[in-house]
Chains A and B, each alone.
Chain A
Amino acid sequence: MISDRPILLRTGAAFAALLLLLFALGVGAAVGETAIPLDVVAKTVANRLWHAGYPLEPIDEGIIWNYRLSRAMVAACCGSALALCGVILQSLLRNALADPYILGISAGASTGAVSVAILGIGAGALTLPAGAFLGALVAFGLVSALALRAGRGTSAIILAGIAGSQLFNALTSFIVTKAASAEQARGIMFWLLGNLSGVRWPDVWLALPVAILGLLVCLWHARALDAFTFGTESAASLGIPVRRVYVVLIAISALMTATMVSIVGSIGFVGLVIPHAARMVVGVRHGLLLPASALIGAIFMIAADVLSRVIIPGQVLPIGVITALFGAPAFALILSQRRSVL
């Protein structure tokens, strides 16, 4: 348990985690069609942030700063935000299968984004992220209402999520097929599988604050999440204001999902698999599980993005394809291990 450890160890662990994350970001910026040494990456960052004045190839510097670094940053934010959402939803719903993708929140966010981008809903007053956010909220409301009506049970939530994501995916396809030009349609379909190609610094300035806010809000509620171990009534009798915690945490996961989907499209399996992987490493207490999931999620997404760029020379795969290629078998492994536990 995190709180049993002396302060020194905790600070050390946090420091090591930060170093690991920086290293992953560096590798994410170094690897690509043209490989660039890590020290050039470091020097580029020094040049740009502190005007260090290292002499570098302008092209290398440009590729690193303008493309790869912003991309790696967004990948990291996205990975940690989705992983955090997975942890929250799995704890609150007490369901090992809950994640934004399976519950249809991602699908709803896509529908919202597409409605704004193609149908022009909101007549310019709604931005794409705002559309995705509204879509995520609508989807979550619909799925939880359905789950409640179906009897609250563990399987009810998952089945409602399946119904919800099918519905929203169908709506998205419908809108795209009906209203988009062929050019638009191809762009949007690519985006729905998850795509980091168009990501630039302004996206970082949206993703980073949301991811950090999400992490802080989650950490603030770490003990509350622990208290849900034996269900909501037990949490209430331990002094947790159950309704408020639900509202805050569901809202923050809708915000994180919606923001990330509006930047990179919907990406499956990260929210589902990373929390389980983190539990195997650090256990179930949220004080440790939340930061560990955020870190592992960030590194996983950076790695997935690098792979998506180098796996087929000259082509970029949608990142959702990579996360599914690795996530699905990993999830199968977790499922088969759970059997022996339960």
Chain B
Amino acid sequence: MTLSAKNLHWSAGGATILSDVSLDVRPGEFLGIIGPNGSGKTSLMSLISGIRKPQAGAVLLDGRPLSDHGRQAIARRIAFVEQQAETTERITARQAVELGRTPYLGALTPWSRADDAIVDRALEEVDMAHFAGRLWHTLSGGERQRLHIARALAQQSPTLLLDEPTNHLDIGHQISLLQLVREQELTVVAALHDLNHAAMFCDRIAVMQGGRIVALGTPAKVLEPQRLLEVFGVTVDVERDGAGGCFIRYRRPEPRPPRLKLVASEGK
């Protein structure tokens, strides 16, 4: 299965949000998308998942534009975990995961033992089996996030799009979740904020800035102090371990000159 974006343009509310974005997702890779808030990560992922349609350009699934595939056919190949998805319905944790089976169930297809087994496995994989019966509104943010991931796993699509999957998770669950996703034989595209996680888990990283992809390559190539300064405005040291891995160490910014304080006291 191949998935690629060709010269995507997307604008909303009168502003151009993505311009000329092209991206080939390689089968089986873990592709990270990093970039500051508002750089267009979520927008790009919703175009790739087919939820939004580009104004120009196309997303190609197996060489054909997404719009040629039916919604259900897309859902069987691409699962998408949104950055935020909430509900006020009194559903249980397990029911939230069961929704992942939707693309395989027609109006008259009965729920089967196999579906149950898939849901059980997904719950176990995110370490939420013991909470299966809990109501959604009683769960913590991190627990909800893990259930969203479990739903995507239950969807059994070969491609997983994750928009900030580690949101709300404690560090232990952040790492185990990324490891879990990495271990699956899946193609993964994930928007990440933690650069060290991106360095640890990604095969390639795309850097977004102002609605464009400004760099694309292996972590060691992409995560350069100069680029991170330009894109994120932070000063970093990058340590390389010699085996292609790297670690980011953030430097504390110099204290600001006391200009603001002076202005404030003068104004009094």
Contacts and interface: CB of A to CB of B under 8 A. Distances in A.
Say whether A associates with B.
Answer: yes
Interface of A: 1, 3-4, 94, 96, 219-223, 226-227, 229-231, 233-234, 236-242, 279, 283-285, 341-342
Contacts of A220: 107
B79 A94 contact: no
B63 to A, nearest CB: 21
Interface centre among B80, B88, B155 (most CB of A within 10 A): B88
Contacts of A285: 95
Contacts of A233: 46, 51, 82, 85
A234 B111 contact: no
Contacts of B107: 219-223
B55 to A, nearest CB: 18
Contact of B111 (A4, A229, A231, A236): A4
Given A223-B107, A229-B91, A233-B46, A240 B86 contact: no
Given A227-B102, A341-B137, A284 B75 contact: no
Q: Which 8 A-B pairs have the closest CB atoms?
A: A239-B75, A3-B111, A239-B103, A239-B72, A237-B80, A230-B85, A238-B102, A220-B107
Interface of B: 46, 49-51, 70-76, 78-80, 82, 85-91, 95-96, 98-100, 102-103, 105, 107, 110-111, 116, 137, 155
19 contacts: A1-B98, A3-B111, A219-B107, A220-B107, A222-B107, A227-B99, A229-B89, A229-B91, A230-B87, A230-B96, A230-B99, A231-B86, A233-B51, A236-B50, A236-B51, A241-B71, A284-B90, A284-B95, A341-B90
Contacts of B90: 279, 283-284, 341
A3 B113 CA distance: 10
Contacts of B75: 237-239
Given A96-B88, A239-B71, A226 B137 contact: no
B50 to A, nearest CB: 7
Nearest to A227: B102
Contacts of B116: 4
A238 B95 contact: no
A3 B87 CA distance: 22
Nearest to B81: A237
A342 B73 CA distance: 36
Contacts, number: 83
A336 to B, nearest CB: 16
B87 A1 contact: no
Nearest to A338: B88
Contacts of A237: 49, 51, 75, 78-80, 82
B153 to A, nearest CB: 13
B174 to A, nearest CB: 22
Main secondary structure of the interface of A (DSSP, over half): helix
Contact of A239 (B74, B85, B91, B98): B74
A105 B102 CA distance: 31
Contacts of A219: 107
B268 to A, nearest CB: 40
Contacts of B96: 229-230
B111 A1 contact: yes
Nearest to A95: B88
A283 B92 CA distance: 10
A230 B110 CA distance: 22
Contacts of B82: 230, 233-234, 237
A227 B99 CA distance: 6
A238 B103 contact: yes
B89 A284 contact: yes
A55 to B, nearest CB: 47
A298 B87 CA distance: 29
B78 to A, nearest CB: 8
Contacts of A241: 70-72
A229 B74 contact: no
A220 B106 CA distance: 9
Interface centre among A4, A219, A237 (most CB of B within 10 A): A237
A230 B74 CA distance: 19
A1 B102 contact: no
A234 B86 CA distance: 10
Nearest to B116: A4
A238 B73 CA distance: 10
A257 to B, nearest CB: 23
Nearest to B111: A3
A198 B164 CA distance: 61
B98 A94 contact: no
Nearest to B92: A283
Interface centre among B76, B78, B86 (most CB of A within 10 A): B86
B102 A3 contact: no
A229 B99 contact: yes
B91 A284 contact: yes
A240 B100 CA distance: 12
A239 B107 CA distance: 13
Nearest to B105: A223
A251 B137 CA distance: 32
A238 B91 contact: no
Contacts of A229: 87, 89, 91, 96, 99
A231 B85 contact: yes
Contacts of A240: 71, 102
B86 to A, nearest CB: 7
B88 to A, nearest CB: 6
